[in-house]
Structure 1
Amino acid sequence: MQNHLQRLVGRRSGSTTIAAIRGMTLIEILVVLTLIGIVMGIVGGNYLGQGEKAKAKAAKIEIEQIGQTLDLFRLEVGRYPTTQEGLQALITAPTGVPNWNGPYWKKNTLPKDPWTNEYKYASPGQHGAYDLWSYGADGKEGGEGTNKDITSWE
């Protein structure tokens, strides 16, 4: 038996105990689990950050698509929907608009931003014929990073 243990350990001194080859100590297991946690935190943190950036890009693309739909509305009706009519004018005809030939938005519901908030719309806008924006991840005006507003004018 002693010979067999020495071969398993790799020809160490005869004082090697069976406990040395049984497995890892509790401290070693805790160190390994801590290292795995650190690596997962770094990888997961980077992955989550990318997810929010992807949502911001998706919001920018959708704002551009809604903008193109608003342009089509203007071509047929002769003006953009008013602030009061809102984006709903892309789906249902506003009162007193004879040239409305919609719905202009393919779906029967207005799109929401990737954070499930409604897009904001104003016409006339402060930055152009209309302003269209999302308040970003935090749903509040202003902000930085992923909380920054996503707008049609920037």
Structure 2
Amino acid sequence: MKRISRTSGFTLIEIMVVVIVIGVIAALIVPNLFDRAGKAKRSVAKQQVGSLETAIQLFQQDYGRFPDTLEELASPPADVEGASPPSIKQKDLIDPWGNPFLYRYPGNNWTFDLLSTGADGQEGGEGENADITNY
């Protein structure tokens, strides 16, 4: 009778246990990674709102009026000679979620309102969808 020699290797049960453990670890880690990405985007949007707010105030000081649109921050007004080059680029007018920042002058809540509509691109919302504003 032939004797079956047992060679080293993993059994199906051992492999399944490892796969389950990896799945549990991934289930715990992946949501945290997505949460951090959302928090990072909100942080970037807050910084962008602050930069745009400063650019709007500088525009008002330089030209004696508030811009009609945010696009005026990226290109100097045609009616002003010797306008200084813009410090804001067109890409700076887009929030981290790919939505344009909203600007209202006169504002409802402040001299001017500036906001990012958050992840959903709609005004209002909670959590990651909440607006990020200058007021």
- Sort the TM-score into its range (normalised by shorter chain): 0.7 to 0.9
From 22, 29, 34, the counterpart of 2:15: 29
Return the letter of the residue paired with 1:91.
Answer: A
Q: Return the offset for 1:104.
A: 2.8
Give the direction of change, closer, same or farther, for the CA distance of 1:46–1:18 in structure 2 (3 Å limit). farther
Question: Under a length normalisation based on structure 2, what TM-score does the superposition of the two structures give?
Answer: 0.85
Partner of residue 103, structure 1 = 85
Between Structure 1 and Structure 2, whose CA radius of gyration is higher?
1
Return the letter of the residue paired with 1:44.
Answer: V
Distance 1:102 1:54 in 2: 32
Give the direction of change, closer, same or farther, for the CA distance of 1:100–1:130 in structure 2 (3 Å limit). farther
Deviations 1:43-79 (A, max 9, x none): 1210111011010010000110011111100111112
Deviations 1:95-137 (A, max 9, x none): 54x3772333343x24111111111111011011111111111
CA contact (8 A) 2:77 2:83 kept: no
* RMSD of equivalent CA atoms: 2.1
Question: Under a length normalisation based on structure 1, what TM-score does the superposition of the two structures give?
Answer: 0.75
Percentage of identical aligned residues: 37
Q: Return the offset for 1:141.
A: 1.7
Q: Runs of at least 4 residues of structure 1 off by over 3 A?
A: 93-96
Q: Which runs of 5+ in 1 are unaligned?
A: 1-16
Q: Which runs of 5+ in 2 are unaligned?
A: none
CA contact (8 A) 2:49 2:133 kept: yes
